[in-house]
Structure formats: C-alpha cells, structure tokens
Structure 1
Amino acid sequence: MKSSPWPKGKKLVHLDLKGAPPRLDYFHKSIEIFSQLGADGLLVEYEDMFPYAGELEVLQAKDHPAYSREEILSIQDAAKARGLEVIPLVQTFGHMEFVLKHRSLWGLREMPQCLGTLNPHREGGVQLVMEMLRQVVELHPGLNNLHIGADEVYMLGEGEESKLWLSTSGRTVEQLFLSHVTTVAKMAKEAWPHLNIIMWDDMMRGMSLDTLKASGLVGLVQPMLWDYNAALDVDQTVSLLEKYSSAGLPELWGASCFKGATCVHTSVTNTQRHVENHLQWLKVAAAVSPAVKLQGIALTGWQRYDHLSVLCELMPLALPSLAACLQTLIQGHFGPEAQAKVTESLGITSMEVETLERTSVTDSLFPGRMLAELVVELTSMLNSEDVRQFENGMYVRGWLTPYHRRRRLANPLISMQIQSQAVMFLSVLEQKVEAVRKEMLRLYPDSTAQEWMEQHVSPVVAPLQRIVEDIGACLLEIVPQGDGASLAKP
C-alpha cells in the first residue's frame, strides 16, 4: 500500500561513533553517498570520539585517537558542501557510560553499579554536562540544533540522595527526571538562545498530560520519539505525539532505525525489517493532526546498544538498508521505482546485503562494498552447521571428549581424521579472516578490526584450534615418533 511521502522536515542519518568510528576518508565518502541517497542532515553522536579538552580530556577514546578539532571541522565542511546539516548529540543524563566509567568521575553516578546514569543531585554533574555541551557547540560554528539525549535513564531514583529527595511527600521519579532535564535545557537556552534543543522522549511516555504541562519543558525542548520496531504501533505512536503537542510541545521529531536495533550482536543487516519500520512511520506521519509540527525524522544507525556492549553491524553492511529506508520515506512506499533508485545509486542488484553478488568493480558507488561482501561470506562460514557443530559431531563426542583429552588417550586413526577436518576448516577461515581484516583496516581503526575479530571470529576458531592442539598432544603419547620410535618400552 502506498502512503504519502514523509511530509516535511529533515531526514537525518544518525551516526553512532561509540564504536567503529570510520577513518576520515571513509567518513567523507559516506557523507557523499548519504547526500546522494536523499538525506538532509547528520545526527552525530560523538561520544568518546570528540576531542574534549582540559579536564574533560579524560573522556577521549583510549583504544584509538579521538577525531582532532581539524577533523571535526572537516566533517562539517564535507556535510555542508553536500547540503547536509550537522546536529551533534551529547548525552546529559542517561547513557553516560563513556563518562562515568572513569574513576575520577565515579562519584557522579546515581548508583555505583550503573555506569550510565548521572546523579541529578550533584552540582558537579550539571557542570560536567554543560562543559561538554559548551565544547561541542563551540566546535560547531553556525549550529542550529542540539540534541541532549536523556533516554533510558536507568535506576533513576534508587541512589541514596534520590531516595532522600523522594521522601518528601508528593515528589516522584518523573519530577526528578524532569527537574534535571529542565535545568540542563534552560542553561543551554540561556547560553545559546538561537539553538533548538532536542531530546529523546522515552522517559516521558508514561507521564500524564498535566505532568508534562507543568514540567517546565514547554518552550524549551523538541521531543524526538523513537520506535525501531518493524511492527510499530501506529495508533499508540500517534497518540503519544498528540499528547506531547497538547502539553505544549508541538515541535516534534520521529526516530526510525536502519541498523543496530535487531539484536545486540547482529553483524549483517536485514533491509526488509528496517523498511517495514519506515513504512509504519509513514502511516504515523499521515495520521497525526496539523497541531503536531513534525520537524523531521532521524534514521538511527546504532553501533552499540551501549558503550560497553558489542559492535552492531558496520556501516557498509547497512548501506543498502539506509538507501532503501530513505527511498521509502521519499516516495511513500518501497515499490519498483524506489528499488530501482537504490540499485542504481549503489550499483547493486539486491536490496539485502546478504545476497549481494560479488563484483570486481571499485566501490565508488558503494563505499565499503568489498568489506560488506567479505563480512557476509565470512559470517556465513562462521555460522555454518559444519563449523558451529564440529565439537558436537559424533566423532568428537565419541572419541575426543574432555576425558580423552585429559588422559591424552585417543584413537589415533579417528583423531587424525578429526584433526584433518579441523585443520581444513581453519585454513579456509584464516584466508577469509585475513581478507576481512585487510579491508576493515582501510575503513576503520586497528582497534575496531581487532574487536570485531575477537567478538565474531575467535569464539568459533578457538575451539577448532584447541582440538588440533589436543589431538597433537594425544598423538605424541600414543603414536611412535621418529624412525627409532617403538610402540612400547621393554
């Protein structure tokens, strides 16, 4: 069924840099293709890739260098040259793991075991986030919009200071959340009156209309309602947008997803799932009343679920999905015309990266295409039944159990067959792994390649390597070695 195209406002591509930050050259190529695919702006979540200075220098990434000030400016120049607005996203309440993980800032956590949530009662906490905002804003000349995060503020109200605050009659966790966000938003508007302040909406979804009206956020913020579900509930989403509008917050954003929200450890993107999410968002946009002033939609592309979780799909694996999702919004459906636009733009024959045909052409139409193809092939090999279930096969379970390995007593003939099979698997995998590593290093820092390999390759390869080693040890104990060896000593 064809809907109307996305009605108005910007279509932002969200870049989550808390994992797999692209090398600058690949960043620039990505910006170029985003523009060609129909994006209007970038929502950039720098996290530890921003060149924080002074006392905040500790926030910079350690595994790889943060972007320099010059590189941040060059990213903006590349975007502006393509007509893309850059909107920085700085977390100021929840998901502050990259800040609060540092020992010097442990005291600003709401709960000792929760790295993500800032203690809203400490004056130093507000000073910290305002200094983060100041440094980011100053390195974005001509900025019009600023996103202050504030999603998933886990365990809020459970710290000792919060419990004391909540012990006063009439106070609620909702008010505690609103108090901090309002303070940050007010200070931001006072410092930069021209800026529109955007924030995630999820912590406000259960709040009553009266609570929202009295929150102090009216006139201060533009909520961004996110829902990444392929079966997004249209009526419920429309109702939420209408509630925010009725509460005095009519300027609203949507947030969909083109990658990084299927499963925490997914490595290959499913285009169709994300297209369906965007089709639902089109229904939402068509159903809201004129009172809801949609400012645009952010197509999120999560690189991690949080700062300490594993890597989600890398950008090259998600580019067909992004292209398809943008065309879905632009055309109001994903029919033959939209599909043709995607295939033409990227030089591909399939919407699903999993079924891309291998090509020998350059990746100029599809930056990172070679890496996408190689990762798909390697992932297929790593997930194959033969490799995954090798340790559970009849021969290993029958003749090479932990019992046999500890005693170094195994049937030589069968053990050598097992060893030969394992070595063959390892040889094939090693060739593909090296090809992936080489291509990944062209686009990403060494640390990203190392992390990806340890997360996706090592868990599969290590058991095979142990089998080969254990069989070798067993054979030394039971098979004669060398010309003068004998089966038994007198």
Structure 2
Amino acid sequence: MTFSPWPKGKKLVHLDLKGAPPRIEYLHKLIDLFSQLGADGLLVEYEDMFPYEGQLNLLQATVHPAYSHEEVLSLQDVARSRGLEVIPLVQTFGHMEFVLKHPSMLGLREVGHCLGTLNPHREDGLKLVLEMLRQVVERHPGLSTLHIGADEVYLLGEGEESKLWLSTPGRTVEQLFLGHVTRVAKAVKEAWPHLNLVMWDDMMRGMNHDTLKASGLVGLVQPMLWDYGPALDVDTTVSLLEKYSGAGLSTVWAASAFKGSTSVHTNVALTQRHVDNHLQWLKVADTISPAVHLQGIALTGWQRYDHLSVLCELIPLALPSLAACLQTLIHGQFSLEVQANVTEILGVSSVEAEKIESHVDDSSFPGGRLAAVIVELVSILNSNDICGFENNMYVRGWLSPYHRQRKTVSPLITMQIRTSATELLNILEQKATTVREEMERLYPLATAQEWIEQHVTPVVAPIQKIVEDITACLLEMTAQHSLPALAEQPK
C-alpha cells in the first residue's frame, strides 16, 4: 500500500506527561531521537507536571516533583536546537481531572461526580483556565501555537446551572459548548493576538454546517481531528474535514496515535496496529480537496486515558512504533525498506517492540535497556506457568478452596506445589527488581512503584497466597499429628 508522502505541514510528537513523566535528562535524549526520526515539533501536554505558581500551585503533582521552570525552558531549548517547534496543550473544558479533583475546585465541576468537565457558567472557572494559560504561555517565549484541548466534555448540560440555561427555548448543548470555547479563544487572542489556537474536534463532529459557521470560532481556532484506529474510516474523515472547511474552519490538523490507544492497560505498543492508522491518514491526506488547509499531524502517545486511569505503554516500549509511524508518513508506505530504516536507526532486529532482544540496551536507543527487560518480564507474566498456576491440575485437585478452608491437604503434593510457586515468585522478584532499577533511571521513583503495583503485584499476590495457605495447612496438620506423641510423654 503506497500513498504520497505526508504533505507539507508539521509532524508533531505528542508528549503526554500526566503519567510516567521522563526525568529531564532522559527527555532531552528522547527529543534528540524524535528529531532523527523525522519529527518537526512537540505537542506537550504538561498537565500536573507544569510548575504552576501562586494559587495554582496546588495543581502540581505531589507523588513526584513537577518540572521546574528551568527544566521547562531546557526542554524548549533542546527542541529548538534540533529544529522542533514546541506547542503546549492545556485542557480548558473537558479532561480537567487534575484540576477539578481538588476539594477546593469542587464548585467548578459541571456535575459533582464528574471530575473532568468544567462548569461553563462560573466566572471563576473561566478565570482559572485563563490563568493556567497565562502561566504556560509566559513560560514559552517565542510561542506561536497553543492547543486548548476541549475534547470529551462529558456530561455537559447535566449540571443544575446548565439545565436552567437550557430550559430557555432554542438553547442547545452545542451552543453551551461553543459559547465556553469561544470565550476562552477570544480572551487568548485578545491577550496574545499572534497565537494560533488549536482544539480537538470531537465535540463538533455532530454539528451541522450552519451551527459551525455561526459558532464564533471561525477565524479563532484550528480543529484537530483525531482518530487512532487501524481501520479509520477514510470517507467519514474526509467528509468531516470538508464540513469544517465549508463552514469556514478550513485550517485544520490531523491526530493519529503511536501508542496509548490500544487498550487502557496495554504494556507493549503494537507497531503494525499504529502503522495501519497512519496509512489510513495518508489516504485521507491524498483524498481531501485543496480547500482543506492541512497544517500537520500530531502523533499522539497517551500515557493514561485520563488523569485517574492506569499507565499505558511507557515511551521506550513505543519507540519502534513511533519510528515506524514517522517513517511511514515520510515515505508514504511501510515497505521492507522503511522497516529496515527503522531497525537500523533503533539498533533492533524487528519493528515490533514485543520482539526486542534481551541484549538491547541504551546504546541502541534511549531507554532500550528498560524496553528489553520489560518485554522479558511481561512475557513471563503472560506465560502459561504464571497465568495458569491457580488453575493447574495440582492446585485445583489438591488445594481447592474446600481443602484450604478445612486445612486438610496432601502434604506430599502441596509441598511440591509450594516449591513450584516459590520458584516462580523468585523469578518474578528478580525480573521485577531489574525493571524497577532500570525504570528509576529514566522515571521518578513513584512511576516505578506504580508500574510494579499495577502490573506485577496483582499477578504475584494469588501465587503468594497459595504459598501462605500451604504453609498454614502444613503447620496445622503437623501440629495435629504431634499431639498424641506429646500426650504420651511422662509428666
């Protein structure tokens, strides 16, 4: 499958920092690699890693330190030296969990039990968003483009103030959405007239031509249409882009994914899946009319689905995917030659991260050693020996819940089970220790702890419980066996 190379425009690598934020030294190495792979810029979603000041200080991460002002500047300096533009992404409506989770922000939620959506009726909410934007813009000297988020504004219109507002005939949830985004965009353009504003498109997809044209957003924002699936519907996507263009929103962006969109808990990125997504986007770029002014594409790399979900694939596990996707865009295909380019650049034998060899290290690519040891550990965690341990013949036959409850077991067989379980636990402990040590070199300690607790501890716990139950059963049975002998001893 061959298409024209990605047309003129930026190829942005998305850095989602709301989970597993790289240590700054590692981040510098990643930026250098992104440049080598063909990226033109970074879409940086700081979230709680930005060093907010004053009353916004509470937005900073607490499980590990946020980046310092100096580190934020150094990120930009390194990117600039490699010819990469930096575009910050600040959520201003939906996905504001990292803000609205704080008790002091409770009154700014659209609905009390939804931490992601801002109440669009509160002036304090607008002031909060604009102060966040001010601090980010001022820490990015020379900034030309800003992304204001606004995707997945869940339960909008469900709050009491919204219901009251919507009770007036003719008012719609679409207008409610457009009204808030327009106010934000106008305020930003008033403060920084030179800034280009980008926003996610999903909340506008169902809007008709007239609604979009009358929205007030024409000339203010550039929609970024996102679709991360390998089976992206080209015709539907082209129609959406044409609709935006016809309504006056002709300057648009695309957004694909190189990681973080397979499932909420995926450990290792699947390169072919993400390459297929980019091949579909190449077909879209080949199909749209000249009236659609495509500014570029953001290759998203989600680290969490939202602020409160588990970690997705860590960046080292997705670098083969990123390299393959960027090279696919550059060459218009994913040929054997393109695959050879990827493997040569990264020093690996396959474009699929799950096939990374155990000898790969950081001399191959930044984080290569961590990628290799995680692949090895994940393979063990997913092995039949581990996954099927609780259901193997011996555990089900001689250590059932019935046996455990009554502490009546076959010592011979359960001792064999305990030996096998202990051997598996020792292997897992050794591999997990190696992963933790490698992870702590590249990420905060809290990230290593979170990854281990999410992916290793749940697997270890039931096997550890089996060992404990066997020990308890054997102790009780041994004690019962010893009682008659003790009673026969002379007083």
- Fold in common (TM above 0.5): yes
Q: CA deviation at 1:480?
A: 5.8
Give the Cα separation in 2 of the matches to 1:344 and 1:414: 51
What's 1:113 paired with?
113
Per-residue CA shift, 1:124-164, capped at 9, x if unaligned?
Answer: 00000000000000000000000000000000000000000
Per-residue CA shift, 1:463-483, capped at 9, x if unaligned?
Answer: 11111111111111112699x
Give the Cα separation in 1 of the matches to 2:363 and 2:196: 36
Distance 1:464 1:489, change over 3 A: farther
What's 1:316 paired with?
316
Structure 1 residue 173 and structure 2 residue 173: aligned? Answer: yes
Secondary structure in structure 2 of the residue aligned to 1:422? helix
Structure 1 residue 37 and structure 2 residue 28: aligned? Answer: no
What's 1:396 paired with?
395
Partners of 2:348 and 2:364 within 8 A in 1: no
What's 1:430 paired with?
429
Partners of 1:137 and 1:143 within 8 A in 2: yes
Partners of 2:358 and 2:376 within 8 A in 1: no
Q: CA deviation at 1:283?
A: 0.3
Q: State the identity as a percent.
A: 73
Matches within 5 A, 1:51-450: 51-359=51-359, 362-450=361-449
Secondary structure in structure 1 of the residue aligned to 2:79? helix
Give the Cα separation in 2 of the matches to 1:480 and 1:175: 75
What's 2:475 paired with?
476
Give the Cα separation in 1 of the matches to 2:148 and 2:235: 27
Q: CA deviation at 1:409?
A: 2.1
Partners of 1:275 and 1:328 within 8 A in 2: yes
Q: CA deviation at 1:327?
A: 0.3
Secondary structure in structure 2 of the residue aligned to 1:117? coil
Q: CA deviation at 1:348?
A: 1.1
Give the Cα separation in 1 of the matches to 2:484 and 2:347: 64
C-alpha RMSD of matched pairs (Å) = 1.4
Give the Cα separation in 2 of the matches to 1:310 and 1:480: 45
Partners of 1:480 and 1:487 within 8 A in 2: no
Give the Cα separation in 2 of the matches to 1:337 and 1:384: 33
Q: CA deviation at 1:407?
A: 2.5
Give the Cα separation in 1 of the matches to 2:271 and 2:279: 12
Per-residue CA shift, 1:368-398, capped at 9, x if unaligned?
Answer: 0111111111111111122112112222122
Give the Cα separation in 2 of the matches to 1:344 and 1:487: 72
Return the letter of the residue paired with 1:388: C
Give the Cα separation in 1 of the matches to 2:343 and 2:365: 10
Give the Cα separation in 2 of the matches to 1:428 and 1:453: 15
Per-residue CA shift, 1:288-341, capped at 9, x if unaligned?
Answer: 000000000000000000000000000000000000000000000011221121
Secondary structure in structure 2 of the residue aligned to 1:83? coil
Partners of 1:225 and 1:253 within 8 A in 2: yes
Deviating above 6 A after TM superposition, structure 1's stretches of 4 or more consecutive aligned residues are 484-488
Partners of 1:234 and 1:281 within 8 A in 2: yes
Per-residue CA shift, 1:336-382, capped at 9, x if unaligned?
Answer: 2211211111111100011122326x513410011111111111111
Give the Cα separation in 2 of the matches to 1:102 and 1:345: 44
Give the Cα separation in 2 of the matches to 1:234 and 1:339: 24
Return the letter of the residue paired with 1:171: R
What's 2:466 paired with?
467
Give the Cα separation in 1 of the matches to 2:274 and 2:487: 68
Give the Cα separation in 1 of the matches to 2:479 and 2:188: 78
Q: CA deviation at 1:260?
A: 0.2
Distance 1:481 1:64, change over 3 A: farther
Give the Cα separation in 2 of the matches to 1:267 and 1:481: 47
Return the letter of the residue paired with 2:373: L
Q: CA deviation at 1:411?
A: 1.5
Partners of 1:479 and 1:487 within 8 A in 2: no
Partners of 1:480 and 1:486 within 8 A in 2: no
Normalised TM-score (structure 1): 0.98
Partners of 2:228 and 2:257 within 8 A in 1: yes
Q: CA deviation at 1:486?
A: 6.5
Q: CA deviation at 1:444?
A: 0.4
Q: CA deviation at 1:414?
A: 1.3
- In structure 1, stretches of 5+ residues that fail to align are none
118-127 vs 377-386, which moves further: 377-386
Per-residue CA shift, 1:19-76, capped at 9, x if unaligned?
Answer: 0000011100000000000000000000000000000000000100000000000000
Distance 1:487 1:66, change over 3 A: farther
Secondary structure in structure 1 of the residue aligned to 2:115? strand
Distance 1:417 1:225, change over 3 A: same
How many residues align? The count is: 488
Return the letter of the residue paired with 2:17: L
Give the Cα separation in 2 of the matches to 1:481 and 1:66: 58
Partners of 1:117 and 1:154 within 8 A in 2: yes
- In structure 2, stretches of 5+ residues that fail to align are none
Give the Cα separation in 2 of the matches to 1:381 and 1:481: 39
Give the Cα separation in 2 of the matches to 1:264 and 1:455: 12
Give the Cα separation in 1 of the matches to 2:467 and 2:74: 50
Secondary structure in structure 2 of the residue aligned to 1:197? strand
Return the letter of the residue paired with 2:204: M
Give the Cα separation in 2 of the matches to 1:154 and 1:384: 38
Per-residue CA shift, 1:192-226, capped at 9, x if unaligned?
Answer: 00000000000000000000000000000000000
Return the letter of the residue paired with 1:397: R
Distance 1:72 1:286, change over 3 A: same
Return the letter of the residue paired with 2:465: R
335-344 vs 141-150, which moves further: 335-344
Secondary structure in structure 2 of the residue aligned to 1:110? coil
47-56 vs 405-414, which moves further: 405-414
What's 1:26 paired with?
26
Distance 1:481 1:51, change over 3 A: farther
Return the letter of the residue paired with 1:136: V
49-58 vs 406-415, which moves further: 406-415
427-436 vs 405-414, which moves further: 405-414
